[in-house]
Structure 1
Amino acid sequence: MLALNADISFAQALDAPKAPATEVKLDTVTVQRGELQQTVDAVGKLQFHRFADVNVQVAGQIKNVLFAIGDTVQEGKLVMEISPAIRANQLETNRAQMARLRAELADQQAQTDYAESQFKRQTLLKAQNATREDAFESSRMGASTARARIDAINAQIQQLEVTLKSDEESSHNTQLVAPLSGTVVALNARAGQTVSVGQAGQPLMRIADLSQMTVQARVAEVDVTRLRRGMTANFQTPGYPGRTWSGKLRQVLLVPAEGSGEQGKPTFYNVLFEVDNPEQELMSGMTTQVQFIVAQAKDALLLPANLLGQRDAAGMYQVQVVNPERRIVARKVKIGLRNAQQVQVLSGLEAGEQVLVGPVPAPALVLQSKPTAPVGKP
């Protein structure tokens, strides 16, 4: 904080010592030490850092929903039961059909073995001119037909195996469990509701870990290049006036934020960082006012930024100092970090000195002075 002093008087016109002194009231600021931060400001939103959705893996009807919004669940805990569309009798029918096909395959294999043996016999007899041509052709055709029947039965078996595997998986996936430990934050399921795999719309249940939240801040293009991973980010939210939360910058997304940078609009980038939320006070969707700390100086000499005059060719600024003799002295100062309210004084002033606020009064005597010894960076 900078102390504001008033009613400082000084002698007027040294060249007229016998004239009565004139009291001039002055407003001053005392140079004090403190902390100065240079920040990039942005507006953001809170969102879940870790969450997972619960959806069905089989078509069917919701039998039971075991948790409501706001309930806490543990990973692996049963949260919902489904009655699959595949009924038990349909599964048993397919299994019976599989058994029939396998029996048919065994019978056809025996017939094929016999047909092939007959064909081999007829082949030998034909080589000895001991059989008729029609008998040979008949045996050849019989063996070929028998092998084709085996191929057809095997194809039916393979197709039915796929159906059986899907039916069995459907009968097993009737219990939905929590994919992570957290709080139920969304629920779009009710007992008796019919569901299907991959249906469009909101998830049946969303579970989020509320112990940590993510802030997504929109940073202007002109400022985003000043940000670095790991720098401190503070924010406030209207829901908790006067409170500040802190985190460390995790990521700057490399593509412009949605809806920015188009048709002459300013370009913004989304910047992400996490904040601990042990009491679960922060909620998804809350608005945040974010300050990314680009640089800071501790135990620095501080001066209001509006007291600086024009910058000269050497990079120095002029201020008006009221010395202990109540005279106004023009002083050159060197500035370090600055923000909209304050500047860090590197040289030209000492802690406790009084700097004039506003223009120099007409009756005052202004003395030119060399800068005092530089004050090192904190």
Structure 2
Amino acid sequence: MKIKRTKTVIFTLIAALAVGYGVYQKYFTKTPIYYLTDTVKTQDLEVTILADGKLEASEQVEVGAQVSGQIKKLHVKLGDVVTKGQLLAEIDDLPRQNAVKDSEARLKNVQAAKVAKQAQIVNARINLQRQQNLIKQKATAQSEVDMAEANLQVLEAELESLDAQIAQAKIALDSAQLDLDYTKIISPIDGVVVATVVKEGQTVNASQTAPTIVKVADLDTMNIKAQISEADITKITPGMKAYFTILGEPKNHYPATLESTEPAPEKFQTATGNTATTASNEAIYYAGILTVDNHERRFRIDMTAQVYIVVDGVTNQPIISTMATRFKPSNLPMPEGRLQPNEAYVWVKNSDGTIAPKKVTLGISNNIHTEVIDGLTGDEVIVLSETSSDAKNGPNRMPRMR
């Protein structure tokens, strides 16, 4: 019995010691705190708006046929560089040549009829003058004079009709000549052939709509149609500098300029009626048009572009990680006093391992890095975060800027 009582006392003492040790460890010992730190950098900083877009030709024309007929000759192929006025294709012109000849013959016929009518009028005037002289001598009847006058008036009216027919014949000849000219398809702009829609020998019908023969685009200057969210559209203005990357070369930055922004979403422009409805949870994007120099022909139509529109920037200024402006130590109180919107406290690590707050004035920020206008000398070690585990061998640098 005595042995049992002794064992119970021993077990009770062990349990009490364990609980006491746990309480001591939790409440009476200090866990060491380690700080993730970084230094102040003097470098450039940009604030950009990110948008996705597609590369387009600055000018693209669908060159069509204005007359029907068979494609007799295609003078260009895909990728050819063409100049304004260059012959691209020919439609069989024999029917149009015949139409021109027919119109010329009709015009000549009416012009000859006019000459004959003018001669008749001359004779009619002579006859009228003769009848008027005879009536004075009472050598003819008044009816003969009246008949001569009426005949002259009829001939003059017929001459006016022939003048109108000549005008119509000239219009018909001009139209026939224009249709003949339309059998030669010429380029309206300088550019590159980006599509050949027809082949030699194919028949095109222009009776309702002008069928496309080739597509010509100006690729020396290209546009990017970037989709900009409604949250960012108010932050940008035409003329802002920008740069972009393409999928094949994500590390290369190519310059661009924001030319304009469209006043309404694309779906609004294509919708019928006065308004276009949008679901309440659907994102709204506005198109921003950027111009890109492409004399080296590096970029192609429909390439995907990642666009960065520069809304603000500084060069060679003190820059810190934005994490430093948000850090609050767990074991130290924050300084009292109200901060201005562009002010913050950053915690500086001293040489003895302690940390102390410093009030700083902030400039621009891209959410990852922030400009420091005042409050730091530039050689401080600033605290980004803290940990209670051993982080001595962990990273102590902020992420590198892009």
TM-score by length of 2: 0.75
Closer/same/farther in 2, CA of residues 87 and 342 from structure 1, 3 Å limit: closer
Match of 1:38 in 2: 47
State how far apart, in whole Å, the 2-side matches of 1:335 and 1:137 are: 108
AA of the residue aligned to 1:33: T
Match of 1:308 in 2: 325
AA of the residue aligned to 1:42: A
From 295, 306, 310, give the equivalent of 1:289: 306
Match of 1:330 in 2: 357
Match of 1:72 in 2: 81
Closer/same/farther in 2, CA of residues 202 and 214 from structure 1, 3 Å limit: farther
Q: Does 1:190 align with 2:199?
A: yes
Q: Secondary structure at the match of 1:145?
A: helix
State how far apart, in whole Å, the 2-side matches of 1:180 and 1:162 are: 29
Number of aligned pairs?
342
AA of the residue aligned to 1:32: K
Residue 77 of structure 1 deviates from its aligned partner by 3.5
From 132, 135, 139, give the equivalent of 2:148: 139
Q: Does 1:99 align with 2:108?
A: yes
Q: Which ranges of structure 1 fall in alignment gaps of 5 or more residues?
A: 1-19, 363-378
Q: Does 1:56 align with 2:73?
A: no
Q: Secondary structure at the match of 1:242?
A: strand
Instruction: Give the structure with the higher percent helix.
Output: 2
Residue 154 of structure 1 deviates from its aligned partner by 2.3
From 347, 350, 360, give the equivalent of 2:374: 347
State how far apart, in whole Å, the 2-side matches of 1:175 and 1:216 are: 34
Residue 41 of structure 1 deviates from its aligned partner by 2.2
Match of 2:267 in 1: 259
Alignment of structure 1 residues 240-259 onto 2, 5 Å: 240-253=249-262, 255-259=263-267
> Given that residues 65 and 212 in structure 2 are in contact (C-alpha distance below 8 angstroms), is that contact kept between their aligned partners in structure 1?
no
Q: Which moves more between the two structures, 83-92 or 319-328?
A: 83-92
State how far apart, in whole Å, the 2-side matches of 1:223 and 1:135 are: 94
Alignment of structure 1 residues 208-223 onto 2, 5 Å: 208-223=217-232
From 280, 293, 303, give the equivalent of 1:276: 293
> Given that residues 218 and 257 in structure 1 are in contact (C-alpha distance below 8 angstroms), is that contact kept between their aligned partners in structure 2?
no
Q: Secondary structure at the match of 1:280?
A: coil
State how far apart, in whole Å, the 2-side matches of 1:109 and 1:304 are: 99
Closer/same/farther in 2, CA of residues 105 and 211 from structure 1, 3 Å limit: closer
Residue 51 of structure 1 deviates from its aligned partner by 3.5
Match of 1:13 in 2: none
> Given that residues 71 and 199 in structure 2 are in contact (C-alpha distance below 8 angstroms), is that contact kept between their aligned partners in structure 1?
yes
AA of the residue aligned to 1:93: D
AA of the residue aligned to 2:349: V
State how far apart, in whole Å, the 2-side matches of 1:29 and 1:168 are: 80
TM-score by length of 1: 0.79
State how far apart, in whole Å, the 2-side matches of 1:297 and 1:125 are: 108
Residue 24 of structure 1 deviates from its aligned partner by 4.3
State how far apart, in whole Å, the 2-side matches of 1:284 and 1:201 are: 24
State how far apart, in whole Å, the 1-side matches of 2:35 and 2:356 are: 14
Percent identity, please.
27
Q: Which ranges of structure 2 fall in alignment gaps of 5 or more residues?
A: 1-28, 269-274, 329-336, 390-402
Q: Which moves more between the two structures, 51-60 or 41-50?
A: 51-60
Q: Which moves more between the two structures, 21-30 or 115-124?
A: 21-30
State how far apart, in whole Å, the 2-side matches of 1:198 and 1:215 are: 36
What's the CA shift string for 1:40-63, capped at 9, x where partnerless? 222222110133443334443211
State how far apart, in whole Å, the 1-side matches of 2:133 and 2:230 are: 90
Closer/same/farther in 2, CA of residues 121 and 351 from structure 1, 3 Å limit: same
Q: Secondary structure at the match of 2:95?
A: coil
Residue 190 of structure 1 deviates from its aligned partner by 1.6
Closer/same/farther in 2, CA of residues 262 and 95 from structure 1, 3 Å limit: closer
State how far apart, in whole Å, the 1-side matches of 2:76 and 2:129 are: 71
Q: Which moves more between the two structures, 85-94 or 231-240?
A: 85-94
| TM-align CA RMSD | 3.1
Match of 1:170 in 2: 179
Higher relative contact order (CA 8 A, sep 6+): 2
